[in-house]
Chain A
């Protein structure tokens, strides 16, 4: 994985001191809260309902064991012993004191980590496929480009006071695990007709109040031109975006207001100019230099036999958690952070430390965070899987539900978040408990439930096969159902079913929707396929029959 050289290290160190001075000026009253706010946000620090929340960047979701231990240390020393992995593949701590933040940043810097641009109206932490460098489906590892984008976007002088936040993701496979089309900008690594590798660029996607799928800006950008192209998109956005209405200031609004053709024209003009200046060209040599950091570990020559275990529950875990690795004898293992009845995406200090131990014991050099709020061990020897499973099980990290109905994405919601209208966590817990039975989960198959506690959609409800949006009606929490969304390569925005359900009724309504699917599906259909075939009506008819389950 990427390692800081002296320049990166100095940059992050100085950034810590810069922020320390900003905190001092806030504490002395020199900065008003209004002035301090964007500065702290640019360093991932939010003021939530109960305390400050600090969001730590995990660029393209990749961590070493050493970094994982530091995350555990921070949870223990400065928080209440746990952290929350987010849909942006970051980790956030919910109980932080402002005066501690400079020290936390210094601790992070000591393991080559930071909080730069994890919030605020700037280019956010770049995300990528969590199977990068391990799956055989990819054209190449997307992380070298993500790292190049990370560096280019770090304190970019022109783009730190954008109209709104700006999220970038990079993928390199046909199968989309990074929700590319829901990003302000997405880069997909592709091959053109001549077999040359380059980049397909999308822009204008996003969730929130006005969800849009990103549209194609360019079918093929040459490798050396990619930063020039990104700079062109950002420049058009910075110049032309509205600034008069916070709800209409994302790039998706601009793209849809002027139309994709006009957006392409404006970007092309900037791109031609930036390109002719020549200063942002990315030489192959630089790409190779960064790519070398991401070289796969030295794989052993292993047989590709299926592993076995004396533990009868191993099979269930294997079935859901293991994905195909590009190297014979190796597997990609997903660690579900969705224990039935737990808080989606949470992990405690003991678990984080223990995973770091496990990585070292089994020679797994890095770990990934997925946007679905799970962890991924990218390179596990198949012969070690049974032993890895045993350890994970002891840590309560072996729930065999990855990709199933209880693998729910949920934002922190009103339990923590200042912006939320409704709680998300209890709804996720309730639904997971209803579907706890593993046979029932297997029968249902792939079904992605995503829950947001407000319209901002941190829980990706628009992209849920079943999306749940918490709303506030006169001080009471209600939950709207949306069906048919997808954050994968078949991306779509879910359709709103109708009036919301109460906190008590939403779980039963979800059960009725899923039962309807089980009754009406045809062979091999996922929930999403059935919905796309038959539409909203049959589900809606059943969802509002609230008395159906009253007798239970």
Chain B
């Protein structure tokens, strides 16, 4: 599946590993269940580690371990399940996670800009999805009314600038 990160298609240096499959020597993405079971071994590996969370799994269960992870993948089982929007903000704002937050699963073109606003910076996109579409999705709406994890200036900030 093509991966968009920092506004460009990039090679995915991680492999998603099923719970019963042996880990590769390079970057691996494992489930929360596997992480909880093999935490110490996984953290002791000399390779980047990612965890994929299902939409019902709060990143809060990871606690301070998030800082030892390179990547957290948030899953959309169906685009209507919007919990990942809160999980991403929690990762950025409460847990201060600075690594990659990747969206995967069933999300729509129309959700990409919301995803970016709450802290996602990487997207597993469908084959054939173009960078032009990605850019368009991010720029449909120029301004925003509410502060979020992206730090974008809000309309209130812009109003204050205008009058000062």
Question: Interface residues, chain A, CB within 8 Å of chain B?
Answer: 5, 7-8, 10-11, 14-15, 17-18, 21-22, 35, 38-39, 121, 151-152, 154-163, 235, 238-239, 243, 273, 277, 279-280, 286
Contact = CB atoms under 8 A, between A and B. Distances in A.
Contacts of B58: 239
B85 A273 contact: no
Interface string B59-101: 0000000000000000000011111011101000110000000
Interface stretch (B1-9, B37-45, B135-143): B135-143
B158 A21 contact: no
A161 B79 contact: yes
A124 B141 CA distance: 19
Interface stretch (B12-20, B26-34, B107-115): B107-115
A17 B80 CA distance: 22
Contacts, number: 94
Nearest to B84: A161
22 contacts: A7-B155, A7-B158, A11-B143, A15-B141, A18-B110, A21-B140, A35-B79, A38-B80, A39-B108, A39-B110, A155-B145, A156-B146, A157-B85, A157-B117, A157-B118, A158-B85, A158-B148, A159-B82, A161-B114, A238-B83, A243-B83, A280-B147
A151 B156 CA distance: 10
Contact of B114 (A11, A160, A239): A160
A152 B146 contact: yes
Nearest to A279: B147
Contacts of B93: 273, 277
Given A157-B148, A235-B86, A238-B86, A35 B142 contact: no
Contacts of B56: 243
Nearest to B116: A157
B85 A238 contact: yes
Contacts of A17: 140
A7 B143 contact: yes
The 5 closest A-B pairs by CB, nearest first: A161-B82, A157-B117, A157-B114, A279-B147, A7-B155
B142 A162 contact: no
B115 to A, nearest CB: 8
Name the prevailing secondary structure of the A interface residues: helix
A154 B145 contact: yes
Contacts of B79: 35, 38, 161
B155 A157 contact: no
A121 B140 contact: no
A22 B148 contact: no
B131 interface: no
Contact of A11 (B81, B117, B141, B147): B141
A162 B81 CA distance: 7
A160 B140 CA distance: 16
Contact of B145 (A35, A152, A160): A152
Given A158-B118, A161-B111, A277-B93, A10 B142 contact: yes
A160 B117 CA distance: 12
B4 to A, nearest CB: 18
Nearest to B140: A18
Contacts of B113: 157
A161 B87 CA distance: 13
A18 B108 CA distance: 14
A104 to B, nearest CB: 19
A158 B85 CA distance: 5
Given A21-B140, A238-B82, A238-B86, A151 B155 contact: yes
B144 interface: yes
B9 to A, nearest CB: 21
A279 B157 CA distance: 11
Given A158-B118, A243-B81, A14 B140 contact: yes
A151 B145 contact: yes
Contacts of B94: 273
Most chain A beta-carbon contacts within 10 A, residue among B87, B94, B146, B148 = B146
Contacts of A14: 140-142
B86 A239 contact: yes
Contacts of B118: 157-158
A286 B83 contact: no
Most chain B beta-carbon contacts within 10 A, residue among A8, A158, A273 = A158
Nearest to A282: B156
B83 A11 contact: no
Contacts of B147: 279-280
A8 B159 CA distance: 11
A254 to B, nearest CB: 13
